[in-house]
Chains A and B, each alone.
Chain A
Amino acid sequence: GDKVKQSPSALSLQEGTNSALRCNFSIAATTVQWFLQNPRGSLMNLFYLVPGTKENGRLKSAFDSKESYSTLHIRDAQLEDSGTYFCAAFNTGNYKYVFGAGTRLKVIA
């Protein structure tokens, strides 16, 4: 099965609303990264996390290594937040990052 499961797989948000994306891991992960892939295909770094939380503007992310999940909260969604969000977990079993399949987010006016 998938080692990193992202949910939801797709999401449509009204501008100005809030939402949360989630990654569940079935591997022993020590760090997590969140990326946003824009429609041109470029991957932007959003967060790099050890267990704990980080906040940057309207985005907030948490990583709980004991419960094996990470979340990304988007507050006051804007049109430019549209794209595909990926999480990647560092697998201590084989020393590689494992990516989820992504959450496709569309923010509508």
Chain B
Amino acid sequence: GGIITQTPKFLIGQEGQKLTLKCQQNFNHDTMYWYRQDSGKGLRLIYYSITENDLQKGDLSEGYDASREKKSSFSLTVTSAQKNEMAVFLCASSMTGGDTGQLYFGEGSKLTVL
């Protein structure tokens, strides 16, 4: 088995601030993902990466940057936090980016912007 570790678990920021979330996986999976979940809603894809140094935009990429520094890690940056924004960011990984890849999720990082 493996595990996906997200840091920090809780993040409080100020309006306009640049905030970075980190994700590490030890599954040795090729593909990693960042999703955003708003309260009471489903998951929306922000960015994903099918291999080291690769980056693909999801449906919600505006306002975010991402970086796949190495196979095991994938970072997400909120480029300018919006006032009163509150959401959970979920990192996931899968063996491949195709339909043979079962998704595994981290515990989530909760963002609150004051």
Contact = CB atoms under 8 A, between A and B. Distances in A.
17 contacts: A31-B99, A31-B100, A41-B88, A41-B107, A41-B108, A43-B105, A45-B102, A45-B104, A90-B98, A92-B99, A95-B97, A96-B45, A97-B103, A99-B35, A99-B42, A99-B44, A102-B41
Interface of B: 35, 41-45, 48, 58, 88, 90, 97-100, 102-105, 107-108, 110
B68 to A, nearest CB: 17
A99 B43 contact: yes
Nearest to B109: A41
Given A92-B99, A95-B98, A86 B43 contact: yes
Given A95-B98, A96-B58, A33 B42 contact: no
